[in-house]
Chain A
């Protein structure tokens, strides 16, 4: 393998990362020094182990290290070194085994090298100078790079493309044909038309529904517990979903958004159940973020399940906010990034007072009731009303009882009636207790004398006496109605699935679990962030904020993350926002800013965006304005041969990327186009069920609720609707940082044959007929406009019209053939690439 021979290799930059990935585990880490050899410093390598020095500077072929890796003898564990890695080691020794600086005598505890500290993502976010020459800073950075690569940007896309792109990006729904037409006119008339269109979209309530979906992916939102096959439902998780939608619609600053999700309960102080103010309810709902991990503690009491909840929550929090694969450090120091095993447990210590083994609340018991004093008062008042109704009814039943006994006595021989009445009344009082033997016999002979005063018993007696049946039944019904009417006025008291740390509890000790084993607790650690960030921002938190009843750890952590100096949080956030606008992040590996991920394509732009985001008050809507008003965003997506040769993958953004709609967006857009979309917002999700073909579907026949947007469909881990699963809707195990985009035949089969698509196509056809009448040419045009937001080209129109006419002719003769033909056209359009892809 050819190597860059320009600069001499150094231990820190070139050799240590190889040894760290392959060798530290047995030779240096956690006090493990197999064969007496520690390879963490060049000094140690020269000193060597039991077999003598591992490295002799300048003499690669006398160096044991090289011999061992070359022969494949080492490393024993995971994979062997690559040829190029071995060549590097050889070259480094040959060059004299250089280090960049004097090494320490020994390593105290864990050691992070200068080179690791210098990794780009750990550097402070500084606001770079914007390159000159462009009004929009995004354009300035993007075009500077394009110029370097001798690439020209692409021209602006046409108005119809722009509005469709903006609609899907911001609200996840297509513009109507009328909106497109109006926008085209405005674009011709006003230079501000585009910016105004963006503003209108940012103000729409559907905006929050669209962008909440992105956030819920990284939060691992689910309406069920997962963990085991039972996959119990989470009845009130949706309040967290609604919190996210509302927060995004209100453009809640992200620093506050994050703080509330991590520490809403600590902001409230220990919540006083029964006294919650609306603002406190929101903050508690926000902590649902920390309740999203798969959770088996409702089914099993063991610590394995509890430990899994805490571990998964650390993974969610760290991947969502730090963009690093911290989860890899659960069992050992991270192999590729300077994330120490104890860092994983320092983050765990942040959460552990709230997710405490002692006083663990299994899912059902952690619900915080939303009862207010007014609720309690109203309940008491209604209880009085109910008591009155019941008392009056009881009186009435006693009257019936008396009358019924008289009526029943008619069937007893006259001479026995008085005796019978006496016996029956005694029976009413205490059953058999005070009856004489003769009376007992009498009652046994005439059992209908046992007239009880319950509604059910009286009903049976009265059925024998038609004259009062109607009256009795009316009274029964009236009583039922009266009770129901009062009950209907009872307050509906919901609850929140919150995380609320118990106050004044002894704080749990968080211990490093050696090799991740629950049964091997190691040293205790305190709360903190990744050690490697220590140069940029303090990573340890004050043990206890005396003003709070709780530990204050999560609140301190949230303030630390959002204080403006954290190098990862803002970069990770803006990169994800960028990803949702361009289909690719500036850091392509949105969930991994470490050495295994990809480096940023535009590091200066990323930093500028992060700095700007914070300066603009952590406003996401401001970010949209900035990006969407750039020429870069508004570029055409068409490929150009010249640019294609230089940058096939469009990393430099010389054009817009073509993106497939996500699973939920395909479903929502279909409902919007056919006119079926139910705009009902918030609240309990619409359920899912299996249809006759064992296909999981959004519950049909839910009074139109099945046509709500996909974000309101129950997210049951074990029962994902097939139409969403097949288009790569994520399985939350525990969360999703980057969705897969696949193109497989089962998707096509769904679009061709599924009950949902077929039914929606028929609805679509009815809509087209209502709006365009019976003429095939007009129908084809209207269907096209509704599906794609623009008129068909002449060729498309001709083809669609001819198709309609031919299909109607060839379908089995019948008055509905034209409607079926139209439905089949509508279906084809809903499954076509112009519908499924954003240009």
Chain B
């Protein structure tokens, strides 16, 4: 598709953390035509995470995605529907409702007990569940018209939002972006996945799929040690480990010289270099304790309810500050088939303040313009009651036909509402944004064109959407 673009990533593996190996030098010289090749060179493609030029001028340089898996209820948080309260307890008068879980499904309308008010100069209506988000209303672009084109369940939905299809084996958005743009940080992974609470079903969502594995996300845990095995062993403190790794790299390089073009052998060498640099860089980047008391309080890191997401958000900001391209926080705790009104209060109490603080903090540090923030999940919820579970308190089933997410910074409009659902919150009806459109738009903000961001495999150019139609939603762009 775009031979030049592929060609441009033929670099040596980045200057080595230690010594430029003999092999590396030879390869460089040969590539530059300075060294006569004794046998025909294989001209292997070398993949790396050095910074690359985008296709056009980018608006975003980094992204922090707060992926709220399970399906935050849009009609209780972001998308007021007075009709629901009017019809509360009555049978839904409209057409077919697609239930994902028929267990306990009803057609009885459920109103929202949560009061909506207008926020900021933009007057965006949000509910009392998310007062802090209300406080950043003028900084966000609220999309009320998401739709997954018929994909219904969690795993397929999260994969759709993250990889463009509900199927297995496709690269994550973070992998595509780091493949396209590399990383500004040589000392940290280009793509980091921070998981709080439990892994979402269908994990890992940070797999590079068919892309080379150096574009895979690095998993950071909720508790210490956030990255396993980060400290050098006692017997190799100081420069001893550097000498050891330099020796190891010489062994690996001589081995690679016998197998030129083996991508996995190259990737292993690169992964040791990165690991060595991460030992110092990641320890620092992941240390929430280095933040001021005021910052910790801003995020709610001082409060047990908000602490998990607060620390994740602080770390995300610290990583992006250090040049990491893509940070995705996974909080799979929004699936509320029963007792939704109590569960939402708890979940929002844990999430509202840290999420809003991230946007405020990025703004205060002048990072918001170049950092795209995503907040949302793979679905919203239905306007009707689902009764499941012992206590019989109502919940809501999945809705992928209409739901809300918000974006901030990184070149999107602020204080803006895009699209709408019908009066029940059931279907996105105005300005519908499909997952394909969302993904195309994110790539566009990074200066990448979806069709040009191709990876050649077995003679076929693979792209994120692979021919599925996706539109850059220009209405969202500032």
Asked if A748 meets B275 with Cβ closer than 8 Å, knowing A693-B225, A807-B240, A824-B244, the reply is yes
Q: Known: A78-B149, A693-B228, A824-B236. Is A837-B274 also a contact (CB below 8 A)? A: no
A520-B102 in contact (CB<8A): yes
Known contacts A799-B250, A810-B240; is A658 also within 8 Å of B262 by CB?
yes
Q: Is the CB of A82 within 8 A of B189?
A: no
A836 to B271, CA, bound (A): 14
Does A77 interact with chain B (Cβ within 8 Å)?
yes
Interface residues on A, range: 35 or more
Partner of A748, one of B151, B213, B240, B274: B274
* Residues 42-91 of A at the B interface (beta carbon under 8 Å): 72, 76-80, 82-84
Assess whether B150 is in contact with A82, with CB atoms less than 8 Å apart. Answer: no
Given A518-B102, A742-B216, A758-B235: A828 in contact with B223 (beta carbons within 8 A): no
* Interface contact B265-A837, CB-CB below 8 Å: yes
Cβ–Cβ < 8 Å partners of A833 in chain B: 251-252, 255-256, 265, 268-269
Contact between B213 and A742 (Cβ–Cβ < 8 Å)?
yes
A702 at interface, CB cutoff 8 A: no
B267 contacts across to A, CB distance below 8 A: 743
Q: Does A832 touch B at the CB level, under 8 Å?
A: yes
Is the beta-carbon distance between A749 and B229 smaller than 8 angstroms? yes
Given A83-B467, A811-B240, residue A743 in contact with residue B264 (CB < 8 A): yes
Write the A646-670 contact mask toward B (1 if CB under 8 angstroms, else 0): 0001010000001010000000000
Cβ contact within 8 Å between B247 and A749? no
- Complex contacts, B42 vs chain A, CB 8 Å: 639, 641, 644
Cβ-defined partner of B271 (8 Å) among A596, A660, A744: A744
Contact A743 B214 (CB under 8 A): yes
Interface flag for B272 (CB, 8 Å): yes
Minimum CB distance partner of B230 in chain A: A749
Taking the closest CB of chain B, its distance from the CB of A660, in whole angstroms, is 6
A663 to B254, alpha carbons, bound, how many Å?
24
Q: Residue B342 at the A interface, CB < 8 A?
A: no
**Is B243 part of the contact surface with A, judged by Cβ < 8 Å?**
yes
Q: Given A824-B236, A833-B255, are A750 and B228 neighbors across the interface (CB < 8 Å)?
A: yes
Give the CA-CA distance A799 to B218 in the complex, in Å: 33
Query: Which residues on the B side are within 8 Å of A679 (C-beta)?
Result: none
Task: From the candidates A658, A758, A793, name the one contacting B259 in the complex (CB within 8 A).
Answer: A658
Cα distance A834–B241 when bound, in Å?
20
Residues of chain B lying within 8 A (CB to CB) of residue A806: 243
Whether the Cβ atoms of B149 and A746 lie closer than 8 Å is no
Of listed A82, A304, A742, A839, residue having the most chain B CB within 10 A: A742
Please classify how large the interface on chain B is, using the bins under 10, 10 to 19, 20 to 34, 35 or more: 35 or more
CA of A10 to CA of B244, assembled, Å:
65
Q: Complex: how many Å from CA A409 to CA B354?
A: 77
Q: Are B240 and A836 in contact (CB under 8 A)?
A: no
How near does chain B come to A156, taking the closest CB pair, in angstroms?
Answer: 16
The answer to the question of B33 belonging to the interface, with a C-beta cut-off of 8 Å to chain A, is no
Given A694-B225, A744-B213, A824-B236, check contact A749 B278 (CB 8 Å).
yes
Interface code A726-746, partner B: CB below 8 Å = 1, 0 otherwise?
A: 100000010000001111111
Determine the chain B residues whose CB is within 8 A of the CB of A758 once the complex forms.
Answer: 233, 235
A78 to chain B, nearest CB (A): 4
B 192-248 contacts with A by CB, 8 A: 198, 201, 207-208, 213-214, 216, 218-219, 223-225, 227-233, 235-236, 239-241, 243-245, 247-248
The smallest C-beta distance from A816 to any residue of chain B, in angstroms, reads 9
The complex places the Cα of A638 from the Cα of B257 at a distance, in Å, of 11
Write the nearest CB–CB distance from A95 to chain B, whole angstroms.
24
Chain A residues with Cβ below 8 Å from B458 are 649, 651
**Residue of A at shortest CB range from B270?**
A743
Q: Which residues of A contact B248 (CB under 8 A)?
A: 828, 831-832
A753 to B247, CA, bound (A): 16
Given contacts A77-B150, A753-B233, contact A660 B255 (CB under 8 A): no
Known A820-B235, A832-B252; judge A79-B149 contact (CB<8 A): yes
The answer, yes or no, to whether B93 is at the interface (CB within 8 Å) is: no
Once the chains are docked, how many angstroms separate the CA of A554 from the CA of B252?
52
Return the chain A residue nearest B148 by Cβ: A78
User: Is A519 in the interface zone, CB < 8 Å from B?
Assistant: yes
Q: Within the complex, which residue of B102, B189, B265 is in contact with A517, where a contact is CB–CB below 8 Å? A: B102
Quick one: closest A residue to B388, CB to CB?
A304
Q: Which residues of chain B are within 8 angstroms of A744 by Cβ–Cβ distance?
A: 213-214, 216, 218, 271
CB-defined contacts of A76 to chain B, threshold 8 Å: 150
CB nearest to B233 among chain A residues? A758
Q: Which chain A positions have C-beta within 8 A of B244? A: 807, 824-825, 827-828
Q: Is A837 a contact partner of B149 (Cβ separation < 8 A)?
A: no
Question: A671 to nearest B CB, angstroms?
Answer: 19
In the complex, the answer to whether B243 meets A746 with C-beta atoms within 8 Å is: no
Docked CA distance A829–B244 (Å): 10
User: A85 to chain B: closest CB distance in Å?
Assistant: 9
Chain A residues within an 8 Å CB radius of B252: 832-833
Instruction: Kindly list chain A residues whose C-beta atoms are within 8 Å of the C-beta of B201.
Output: 733
Residue B39 is within 8 A (CB to CB) of chain A in the complex? yes
Contact assessment for B265 and A658 in the assembled complex, using a CB-CB cutoff below 8 Å? yes
Most chain A CB atoms below 10 A, which of B208, B213, B436: B213
Asked if A803 is an interface residue, CB under 8 A from chain B, the answer is yes
Interchain residue pairs with CB less than 8 A apart (12): A77-B150, A304-B103, A745-B278, A746-B218, A746-B228, A749-B278, A752-B241, A758-B235, A810-B239, A820-B240, A823-B235, A832-B255
A-B pairs, top 6 by smallest CB distance, nearest first, are: A748-B275, A77-B150, A743-B267, A517-B102, A753-B229, A749-B229
B contacts, CB < 8 Å to A: 39-42, 102-103, 149-151, 165, 167, 189, 198, 201, 207-208, 213-214, 216, 218-219, 223-225, 227-233, 235-236, 239-241, 243-245, 247-248, 250-252, 254-256, 258-262, 264-265, 267-269, 271-272, 274-276, 278-279, 436, 458, 467-469
Known: A639-B260, A743-B268. 5 other contacts (CB 8 A): A515-B102, A726-B228, A743-B264, A744-B216, A807-B243
Give me the interface of A with B, judged by CB distance under 8 Å.
72, 76-80, 82-84, 229, 304, 515, 517-520, 596, 637-639, 641, 644, 649, 651, 658, 660, 693-695, 722, 726, 733, 740-750, 752-754, 758, 793, 795-796, 799-800, 803, 806-807, 810-811, 820, 823-825, 827-829, 831-834, 836-837, 839
